[in-house]
């Protein structure tokens, strides 16, 4: 099962914590993430935190996406693309096609 | 909601799609291993946004779906034993085994209880010391550490009526099995984001190394998935297979070491029977000798009788990625979420359930 939701740790007591998401609080186990602290966001899966969300990486990801966004002007609607041969993609000089930001991710593994 | 809403920004989604459209020149087929991805892709309308050159195909990443009938039959037989309380995750309840489901067993008097967490099953065991509480351990590496943690808790408090039937399975071996079978040509794999939170992005290095197949580990919000698809397109276009971690806010190269240690302390790797893939070596988890007293299969030997597969059900082919749900003759005509024939239609992560719910009138 791949379903896990990010929740905010509001209090910690030993290996359990109270975590809040969308205004709902629940008790979860920190057995798998003993490093989690109040104020951290953790991914909750079947009552356990399985990982701590890295806030800096989250911001970095959004920043890279914003950088990518600058290559594609707002007024170009995605729906126009299927009608165009790729080589005639408007407003995008192919020779300047950006290396996708994800390749600059600090966690990339080659 | 934090870390969800930002990754659903439609403006950034359009930019990512524009990038994919611009970069994709040749037909590619990517497999999203995880059923959760199949559902997210449908739910957010991502299929329609991708250019015709990019095809997405579902994989076997639905632990309920890949549970073999023999194992489910065993769970049902255990549930029917007098004095047993069988605790299970909700999706397993309605999956048809050879002769009925856990739900029908419950209707016939078996004490079957749906739980959200292995910890709930522990609680039931504490509340009912006179009963044997068997937890049905279904799930991949996201779930297995939680069950291991529950077993350690049971051990620490000397709980002697708590058991686990371990049907846990491992995702990289299943991915290998699909590639080794060579039945479906894949240009890339969208890696399961939460499994990989546990096992680490390094666990997928075998894909570019052994198969020259790129892998992009993805989260479950639209921007996460599109970002992974964009990375795969780029790697496929350039012929540069690698592992890209496109879910870096949750996934680290080494994964969650604590979770892995706990999982490996309690479980060892074993062979496992996968619906669709058959017996796959070193693809399952079994309780280590030290924890064998928690093993439900050993504590309660049962003979579930001969296994019966449902005729016409193509769940196995769907799980191997060789067939899409609408190609199954039973899809929608006979097999629906209300009256499912196979687990792919039952599970919240099943491909058939996703196609049924979101596939639209054309399907």
User: Minimal Cα–Cα distance from A16 to chain B, Å?
Assistant: 12
C-alpha angle B272/B80/B295, rounded to 5°?
40
Q: Cα separation of B78 and B164, whole Å? A: 11
Structure tokens, B42? 């449908």
Q: Can you give the pLDDT at residue A56?
A: 95
| B5 close contact with A: CB closer than 8 A | no
User: Minimal Cα–Cα distance from A98 to chain B, Å?
Assistant: 9
Q: Can you give the pLDDT at residue B360?
A: 72
Residue of A84, A19, A61 whose CA lies nearest to B219: A61
Q: What is the pLDDT of residues B291-328, one digit of tens each?
A: 999 999 999 999 999 999 888 999 999 999 999 999 99
Q: What is the pLDDT of residues B57-75, one digit of tens each?
A: 999 999 999 999 999 999 9
pTM of the predicted structure, to 2 decimals = 0.90
Q: Which helix (H) or strand (E) holds B88?
A: strand B84-88
Residue of B126, B120, B168 whose CA lies nearest to B144: B168
Q: Which domains does chain B have, with CATH numbers?
A: 22-313 (3.40.50.11740), 315-358 (no CATH)
- The yes-or-no verdict on residue A100 having pLDDT over 70 is no
| Interface test mutation site (partner A, options B142, B235, B346, B348, max chain A beta carbons within 10 A) | B142
Instruction: Find out whether B175 and A26 touch, Cβ atoms under 8 Å.
Output: no
Q: How confident is the model at residue B362 (pLDDT cuts 50, 70, 90)?
A: low
Q: What is the pLDDT of residues A46-98, one digit of tens each?
A: 999 999 999 999 999 999 999 998 888 765 555 544 443 333 333 433 333 34
Name the H helices within B128-163: 144-156
Mean pLDDT of B234-249: 97
Would you identify the CATH topology of the domain A5-71? SH3 type barrels. (2.30.30)
Contacts of A54 in chain B (CB under 8 A): 248-250, 252
- Output the CA–CA distances (angstroms, integers) from residue A54 to A21, A107, B175, B243, B250, in the order listed: 17, 12, 28, 20, 6
Helix-strand-coil percent breakdown of chain B, rounded to 5? Answer: 45, 20, 35
Measured between CB atoms, which of A4, A46, A92 is closest to B116? A46
Domain boundaries defined on chain A: 5-71
Q: What is the pLDDT of residues B275-290, one digit of tens each?
A: 988 999 999 999 999 9
Per the CB < 8 Å rule, is B197 touching A57? no
């Amino acid at each position: 099962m791949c379903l896990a939701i990010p929740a905010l740790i509001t209090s910690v007591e030993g290996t359990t914590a109270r975590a809040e998401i969308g205004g709902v609080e629940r008790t979860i186990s920190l057995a798998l993430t003993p490093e989690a602290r109040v104020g951290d966001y953790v991914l909750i899966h079947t009552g356990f935190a399985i990982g701590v969300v890295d806030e800096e990486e989250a911001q970095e990801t959004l920043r890279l996406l914003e950088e990518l966004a600058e290559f594609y002007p707002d007024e170009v609607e995605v729906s126009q693309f299927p009608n165009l041969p790729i080589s005639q993609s408007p407003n995008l000089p192919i020779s300047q096609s950006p290396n996708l930001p994800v390749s600059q991710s600090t966690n990339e593994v080659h | 909601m934090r870390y969800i809403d930002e990754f659903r920004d439609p403006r950034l989604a359009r930019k990512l799609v524009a990038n994919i459209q611009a970069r994709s020149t040749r037909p590619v087929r990517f497999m999203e291993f995880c059923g959760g991805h199949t559902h997210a892709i449908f739910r957010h309308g991502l299929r329609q946004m991708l250019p015709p050159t990019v095809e997405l195909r579902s994989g076997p990443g639905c632990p309920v779906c890949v549970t073999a009938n023999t194992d489910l039959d065993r769970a049902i037989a255990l549930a029917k034993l007098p004095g047993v309380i069988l605790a299970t995750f909700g999706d397993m309840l309605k999956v048809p085994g050879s002769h009925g489901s856990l739900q029908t067993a419950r209707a016939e008097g078996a004490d079957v209880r749906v739980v959200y967490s292995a910890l709930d099953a522990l609680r039931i065991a504490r509340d009912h010391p006179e009963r044997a509480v068997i937890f049905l351990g279904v799930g991949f590496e996201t779930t297995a550490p939680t069950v291991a943690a529950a077993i350690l808790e049971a051990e620490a408090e000397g709980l002697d009526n708590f058991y686990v039937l371990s049907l846990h399975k491992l995702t990289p071996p299943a991915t290998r099995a699909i590639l080794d079978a060579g039945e479906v040509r894949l240009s890339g794999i969208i890696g399961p984001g939460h499994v990989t939170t546990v096992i680490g992005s390094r666990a997928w290095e075998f894909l570019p190394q052994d198969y020259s197949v790129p892998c992009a580990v993805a989260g479950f919000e639209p921007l996460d998935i599109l970002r992974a698809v964009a990375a795969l397109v780029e790697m496929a276009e350039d012929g540069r297979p690698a592992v890209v971690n496109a879910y870096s806010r949750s996934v680290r190269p080494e994964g969650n070491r604590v979770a892995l240690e706990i999982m490996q302390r309690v479980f060892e790797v074993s062979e496992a029977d996968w619906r669709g893939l058959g017996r796959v070596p070193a693809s399952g988890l079994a309780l280590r000798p030290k924890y064998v007293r928690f093993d439900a299969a050993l504590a309660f030997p049962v003979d579930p009788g001969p296994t019966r597969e449902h005729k016409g059900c193509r769940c196995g082919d769907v799980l191997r990625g060789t067939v899409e749900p609408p190609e199954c003759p039973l899809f929608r005509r006979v097999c629906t979420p209300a009256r499912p024939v196979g687990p792919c239609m039952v599970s919240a992560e099943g491909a058939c359930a996703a196609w049924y719910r979101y596939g639209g009138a054309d399907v």
